[in-house]
Amino acid sequence: MTSPARVPVATLPGGRMPAVGFGTWQLHGDRARSAVREALAVGYRHIDTATMYGNEEEIGQALADSGVARADVFLTTKIRPSDLGRERAVLRRSLAALGTDYLDLWLVHWPPRHRADSHQLWTELLAAKAEGHARDVGVSNYSLAEIDELTSSTGQAPAVNQIDWGPSRYDAGALAGHAERGIAVEGYSGLKNTNLGDPVLATIAAAHGVTTAQVVLRWHLEHHVTVIPKSARPDRIAANFELFGFQLTAEQVASIDGLAAGRGRRRR
């Protein structure tokens, strides 16, 4: 079993984000409770949720049941742009459901359509951080141009951008752009949007005696991208966290990067 201490961290302005977290989208009710309990039991110390997922309460219950101290878990939730104007009430509900008095990371789930709304929402998140309700604040699904707008209008850059990421989405320019701005990249749907039967991945997996899913997750870490795989199955929850008994060579990383070639480049 992997010790949580082996997981690298991304250093954020307000704290340290474990580079492997547990995704919870589409986990509800008992399935959410037991998956999160399982994740905490095998060593995950970073849980990703959102108001939209409708499972904050179950996650709070799983955390309370787990016996793991709140201070040892990095907890992220997200606010929808449609909650503009009621940010405080949404934050209070998220904190109460999760059974905590602070978030490690509060994200704008996706960019509001209008620039003024984006600015207002971001200002509210910054206020929540200033008041100690969130250690760090960030965004999700923002382009670098949208991030630059927020930063120039408030003087404060998001700590994190959580984006759709994986071998088919690889974009060196996007990674460099986030790094230049000091923004940590967190990738989502890296397993779901990958052909886990791809021969390039299969060859690398065989060389290390691991699964192609583990290769994909490890590839994120080699690029310093935080990864948050979701699974409802205990065997996969455990395997997705077993990423520290092998490393990819530079050539293997480059061949996985190459899987994006010809599929269109994105900067989200």
Ligand X SMILES: NC(=O)c1ccc[n+]([C@@H]2O[C@H](COP(=O)([O-])OP(=O)(O)OC[C@H]3O[C@@H](n4cnc5c(N)ncnc54)[C@H](OP(=O)(O)O)[C@@H]3O)[C@@H](O)[C@H]2O)c1
Q: Which stretch binds ligand X (CB under 6 A): 97-105, 115-123, 233-241, 255-263?
A: 233-241
CA separation, residue 108 to residues 52, 87, 99, 141, 261 (Å)? 11, 11, 21, 9, 30
Q: Give the three-state DSSP class for 107.
A: strand
Whole-angstrom distance, CA of residue 47 vs CA of residue 52: 15
Compare residues 94 and 162 and give the one whose CB is closer to ligand X.
Answer: 162
Q: What sign results for the dihedral spanned by CA atoms 183, 157, 74, 233? A: negative
Least spacing, CB of residue 213 vs ligand X, in Å: 3
Compare residues 132 and 214 and give the one whose CB is closer to ligand X.
Answer: 214
Whole-angstrom distance, CA of residue 50 vs CA of residue 76: 8
Farthest CA pair distance, the chain: 53
Computed on alpha carbons and rounded to an integer, the radius of gyration of the chain in Å comes to 18
Q: 56-66 and 87-98 are packed helices; what angle lies between their axes, rounded to 10 degrees?
A: 30
Positions in 180-199 near ligand X (CB under 6 A): 188-192, 196
24 binds ligand X (CB under 6 A): yes
For residues 116 to 155, the per-residue mask of contacts with ligand X, x marking binding by CB under 6 A and - elsewhere, is: ------------------------xx--------------
Beta-carbon contacts of residue 99 (< 8 Å; ≥ 6 apart)? 60, 61, 63, 64, 70
For residues 155 to 184, the per-residue mask of contacts with ligand X, x marking binding by CB under 6 A and - elsewhere, is: -------x----------------------
- Among 10, 17, 20, 23, which residue sits at the site for ligand X (rule: CB under 6 A)? 23
AA identity, residue 131: E
Q: Which of 44, 53, 170, 188 is catalytic?
A: 53
Task: Match 């141009």 to its residue by tokens.
Answer: 145
Compare residues 30 and 251 and give the one whose CB is closer to ligand X.
Answer: 30
Compare residues 105 and 239 and give the one whose CB is closer to ligand X.
Answer: 239
51 binds ligand X (CB under 6 A): no
Beta-carbon contacts of residue 147 (< 8 Å; ≥ 6 apart)? 139, 157, 158, 161, 181, 183
Least spacing, CB of residue 228 vs ligand X, in Å: 5
Compare residues 32 and 84 and give the one whose CB is closer to ligand X.
Answer: 32
- Residue 44 is a catalytic residue: no
For residues 68 to 97, the per-residue mask of contacts with ligand X, x marking binding by CB under 6 A and - elsewhere, is: ------------------------------
Sites of contact with ligand X (CB under 6 A): 23-25, 48, 109, 140-141, 162, 188-192, 196, 213, 228-233, 236, 239-240
